[in-house]
Structures are given as structure tokens and as C-alpha cells.
Amino acid sequence: MHVIGDKSRLAFATSPYEDHDTSSALTVDIFVGGRTLTLRDNIAYVPGFTCAMEYAVRYYAKSIDWLLPDPAIDGMNLPEAHLYYYHNDRSRTCFDWGPTTDDISSFLIPYNDTIYLTYFLYSENPDHETNLPIIRGEKLHYLEFLSTIYRQWKLMQEYNTSIVGSQVIVEELIVPRSIDRHDSVVTPEESAEPRDGPESPNRPFDNG
């Protein structure tokens, strides 16, 4: 397995493309705070997953909106903020990368001058619309987050070339629901690869 990141914080574990030489799908597991978020479905269609990650990297590298404090969640705790975004504002959605991540409700939440990646799994909370879901999260330095998803996207690009035999043609693939295609005009190659930032204290939370 190719592991990028720290599983106790944020990481991806991807099966070697050598094991999938005749297929355009492979396995990608996502870890946040030591927990696996892709228990229900870790099969990724390489071209689509690569494209979705590219749009995410473009957006996070270009915009600082996701880092700015949000007056709408003033006075809320993290589970309350997650549910506020779930019901009112999907623009801060984190993992929106096709069927592989469809079981995950996740947001990047600016909280106390830092960023938390929060999530709950639909499969673990089938009654989430009527009962409070178990929401978990991890405090991350923004450069740690950017560096991890950037390196995973670059790995998926390599896989796409090796398995499918061509580069992803972005305009022919579906844009993640939470990212506006017309606002994403800066390619990752036009930005310097983010370096790993200093680690922030490991402070996961769990309202379960």
C-alpha cells in the first residue's frame, strides 16, 4: 500500500497500481484521526477520483475563504457547526469526490483560529436526520492539509497515466458538487507544491 500522510491525523492508503494493471479502479482508504472513513466503499474509479481531487486542490490552493472565521457559527461547538453547514452551507464540504466518499459528511471548519476537519458517516448514522449523528474531527494545520491532499492527487495522476494510459481530461469529467468550476482557474502546477507545515496539537474530538 502507498500511504500518504499520518493515519492518526489525515492520510490516504492506496493500493499499488501494479496490482490493477488491467483495471481503471483501485482501492483508496481515507483516515482522519486514526479512523477509516471508507469502510463502506473504498473502490475508486481512477479518472473520476483524480479529477475530483484536482478541483479540490485548485480550490484550496487558490482561495483563503475556507480559512477565514465564519460569523455564522459564532458561539457554536464543533458538532453544532458541522450540522449548521450540513443543513445550510455545503461550500465548506471536504470530501466530495464521487462514490468513494459518498458515505462521508465532512467539512473544514474554522474554529478558534485554526481548522478542524469534521465528519460523520451516513452508514453509522442511518437516522441522522432525526437523531444527532456521531460527529468526529481532527485539528489540522492548513499546510498539513494542503500538502497531504496535494501529494495524494499527484499519486492519483501517476496511477491514471499507468492504468488508463492517458492524463485526465478535466473538462470531460464531473466537477465535485461543492466546487464551482468557473471559480477554479488556477492549476496546481501554477502554484508551488505546499510544504508540510508545523504540526498542531493533536486534539481530536468525538461527540459520541
pLDDT in single tens digits along all 208 residues of the chain: 899 999 999 999 998 866 655 568 889 999 999 999 999 999 998 889 999 999 999 989 888 888 888 999 999 999 999 999 999 988 899 999 999 999 999 999 988 878 999 999 999 999 998 899 999 999 999 999 999 999 999 999 888 776 655 554 444 333 344 444 334 333 333 333 333 333 333 456 676 6
Domain assignment of residue 156, yes or no: yes
Summarize the chain as % helix, strand, coil (round to 5).
Answer: 40, 25, 40
Cell (9 digits) for 71: 460569523
Report strand pairing: 43-45 vs 10-14.
Answer: unpaired
Domain assignment of residue 175, yes or no: no
Q: For position 207, what pLDDT does the model report?
A: 66
> Residue 52's domain spans which residues?
2-165
Domain assignment of residue 54, yes or no: yes
pTM of the model: 0.78
- Number of structural domains, the chain? 1
Domain assignment of residue 201, yes or no: no
Domain assignment of residue 155, yes or no: yes
List Cα–Cα distances, 138 to 53, 114, 148, 201, in angstroms: 20, 11, 14, 10
Domain assignment of residue 37, yes or no: yes
For 96-107, the pLDDT digits (tens) are 999 999 999 999
